[in-house]
Structure 1
């Protein structure tokens, strides 16, 4: 058997294990994709991986999460990039929860190695690895690096100020189309939202203040923002209305993540805020992925659960849904309503319930429809690859499955990018 792809959590505490894996990387000629989560405490684990990769000439995709940014590791990575002419995709994910506000003290060899490398096509690295001046140098280099198609800068809520400076360096560089700045956690400088390299924004404070409402008013004119995560209180009609107006007006939003909390609910105003968002969602034509999560102190009433299920079921655009309710009874009401006439929906291809679901007849009805739709998308993708003559012969059988064709065509575009 030929091993071409390897993915695992690396926690080799003993030296002989690290040496064995390093030797494997140095000797293998078939491994093409290597994905590792480095869960060990010391950097010696990563050193053994990089030493193996330095000799390896088969791995074209290397993904390393929990990358320790220190001088030794970055210099080893620089050596790999200087000697390796096979690597096409490199992803170095930062340590989870790392709260560094300023770049670490590392040498510039890693940056120079990236600039001189002629084979890398995709690169993902943490935002805090360099200060603004070095990022600006990399952006200038991207203007003549034709093979480098995509640079992803991995951000966190602790690096907002550095991200603002990077946006300034990126402005006018001419390479914004090549750069993706990951998530921007909204605070302070609204100009970051206008940076075309930013595609996802998160409202994390849930302060529901004038700044956040101002950003929401700005968003419909920004086509590069395709993912929005927002926390809303069911009792705050002002902020919920701002969210609803955005959902109603946007034509570029693809992924919407809603985190619903209770807040201080005034009399006769239990779900006013949530209600206006649901109404807006019914008018939206761009959202293809919907995530709804209820806080552990908020329960949604039966009427709103049914309305949410109906909006998902009737939608001609929502292809993926993920829902997290506080109580199993809420999940049951939602699923029961969703299952009614779900067979008429040919759009939904994925659904996930974070709170779990008992194996009921209604739940299996929903799953059957989702699996059918997913299968139709696969068949539609194969159909798009057939000859024109073959398409004319069988096109009559596919006219009712426009949703499957639409999904298949969108996936095909993403692959071609």
Structure 2
């Protein structure tokens, strides 16, 4: 089906509630079809969720027609605009959406990487429009949209607005000095509890300034330490010292000769009482090397004592067989690890699910399990137990709310 037929069919579907499109469909359609689709967006009284993604160019007539339609729409509650290119007119139209649309509750704006919005000009119009808006509850804004004084003004107004509960800041490239200034602005504006940073954080920003993590807006961090052991140690020490980081992704590549490369991770797991999600991506720097000297013992022992981590995506590609078995034992006996996603190298692909499945029926904590890159018969026993537990959790929540339960399971 070509774009013209798809958009025509969409515009004629009166009961549609959610719509996600690649922007190329709009660009490829004939003008009369794009006009009809814009009229549909403007007048729809059933559509509640709209997502436009792809290499979106809001510098052309088609994109601006969409923004004009969103300005007048009275049904859409949630909008996501991904990889958007703005010019000044589109920035002005976006400001008018904030000012005139009184139905929007959620809006996420992620400009394209090549899009330069250098605070000023028509982007200044976003500030008064957003400060007057009394309906938006959650939003994502690009860092570049304003300069620090404008952000401070916005955050000070935000402190008086209870309706806007969460703001995510997205960016691509930013200097350490600019990041330091921005963190101070967030603190001065009293917005730390409601502002969070996009987790795809460039580690180079805090190569020499890990204290940035002390800003409470860093709740979800993704870091690539590779084979840099000192950097890993500094990062984990800072995360251990704060309580607001609840999700951490670490990509590391231990050297075969570094026995204690993973010890900072063990120390972090041992110390933290607030980290909820820990994702470990561990890869080999030399696939032909023997990694038997890389010790996981302290990390696994710390995990067995930890009571906060409930989500554990982990890559086991350089783990010895005995360590894999110990890890399986820890997860099976854990009272807090409820979500598990595991990648195992091919030669060990059967070992982890086989060991985890032993006695798994006595586990009532796991509610979601994924085994990537392989299928083992023992994996079914584990995933089946997770499905059972998930059903029990759902029924328990119904019981707590006083809902009527099914008599038979």
TM-score category, normalised to shorter length: 0.7 to 0.9
Q: How many residues are matched?
A: 382
Corresponding position of 1:287 = 309
Q: Do 2:227 and 2:252's aligned partners in 1 also have CA atoms closer than 8 Å?
A: no
Q: Do 1:152 and 1:180's aligned partners in 2 also have CA atoms closer than 8 Å?
A: yes
Change (3 A) 1:354 1:246: same
Does residue 382 (structure 1) correspond to residue 398 (structure 2)? The answer is: yes
Structure 1 counterpart of 2:340, from 302, 317, 321: 321
Q: Do 2:196 and 2:218's aligned partners in 1 also have CA atoms closer than 8 Å?
A: yes
Two-structure CA RMSD over aligned residues (Å): 2.9
Corresponding position of 1:177 = 193
Does residue 275 (structure 1) correspond to residue 307 (structure 2)? The answer is: no
Corresponding position of 1:338 = 356
Corresponding position of 1:159 = 174
Structure 1 counterpart of 2:126, from 95, 110, 117: 110
Q: CA shift at 1:284, angstroms? A: 1.1
Distance 2:92 2:115 in 1: 20
Distance 2:107 2:395 in 1: 32
Alignment of 1:47-62 (within 5 A): 47-62=64-79
* Residue deviations 1:112-158 (CA, integer Å, cap 9, x gap): 211121221111112233332322221122122232121111245x3
* Runs of 4+ off more than 6 Å: 99-102, 264-269
Does residue 138 (structure 1) correspond to residue 154 (structure 2)? The answer is: yes
Of the structure 1 ranges 159-168 and 55-64, higher mean CA displacement relative to structure 2 is found in 159-168
Distance 2:305 2:385 in 1: 24
Q: Do 2:56 and 2:85's aligned partners in 1 also have CA atoms closer than 8 Å?
A: no
Q: CA shift at 1:386, angstroms? A: 0.8
Identify unmatched segments of 5+ residues in structure 2. Answer: 1-13
Q: CA shift at 1:346, angstroms? A: 0.8
Alignment of 1:85-100 (within 5 A): 85-95=102-112, 98=113
Alignment of 1:288-303 (within 5 A): 288-293=310-315, 298-303=317-322
Q: CA shift at 1:102, angstroms? A: 7.9
Of the structure 1 ranges 109-118 and 76-85, higher mean CA displacement relative to structure 2 is found in 109-118
Q: CA shift at 1:266, angstroms? A: 13
Distance 1:264 1:60 in 2: 50
Q: CA shift at 1:100, angstroms? A: 7.5
Distance 2:63 2:344 in 1: 40
Corresponding position of 2:96 = 79
Distance 1:344 1:34 in 2: 43
Identify unmatched segments of 5+ residues in structure 1. Answer: 398-417
